[in-house]
Amino acid sequence: MTETVVELPDSLRAELQEPAGRVYTETAAMLAAAGEPLVTVGDVVTYHVLEAGVVPFVALVDDRTERTAVDDRVADRVAAATFDREVTATNPAATLTAELLSALRAALDSDETTLVGVDGEEDLATLPAVVAAPANGSVVYGQPGEGMVLVPVESATRERMRALLSRMDGDSGRLFSILES
């Protein structure tokens, strides 16, 4: 059984709808501004990065966009990408599970590019990805109807994501323990 570590409370939903970084509509411009390593969260963002000829260091996908299945073009491109390793993790909507957090931590600790296929939903993975990714890296996620949000991994963004994660229902101490192990 998958252990839920934290859940998104209704009180944070509106705050999380605001972009956590600059919004880009052009992949080339976003990639030019991105630091390494690059972590992508979401199928459509991962698709656009792959189409630009870049394999993200870590990509988290769930075969869905805005609660519906991604189209075949996106699914096929992500499936055809050459990642060094592929892992799966279960993560129900509006949660972060120990399984997903551990998969993210292991992917970031690896020397290989990793595709994390999420059974459930990967949306909240942006927050722990920013906390756990190496300094000067970047996390990119999709902002529905707007574009791709580029979040630089730096002290200020890490602290903001840590604060948000701390306000979630559940065991944020365990969450940080998994990320920092």
The torsion of the CA quartet 62, 179, 56, 122, rounded to 10 degrees, works out to 20
Residues of the chain with pLDDT under 70: 1
Q: What is the pLDDT of residue 115?
A: 98
- Tracing tokens 């306000």 back to the chain, one arrives at 167
Q: What is the pLDDT of residue 75?
A: 92
Say how far apart CA 59 and CA 78 lie, in whole Å: 9
Say how far apart CA 150 and CA 143 lie, in whole Å: 10
Residue by residue, DSSP assigns 145-166 as TTEEEEEE-SHHHHHHHHHHHH
Say how far apart CA 108 and CA 98 lie, in whole Å: 15
**What does the domain layout of the chain look like in residue ranges?**
36-56+70-82
Q: What is the pLDDT of residue 1?
A: 56
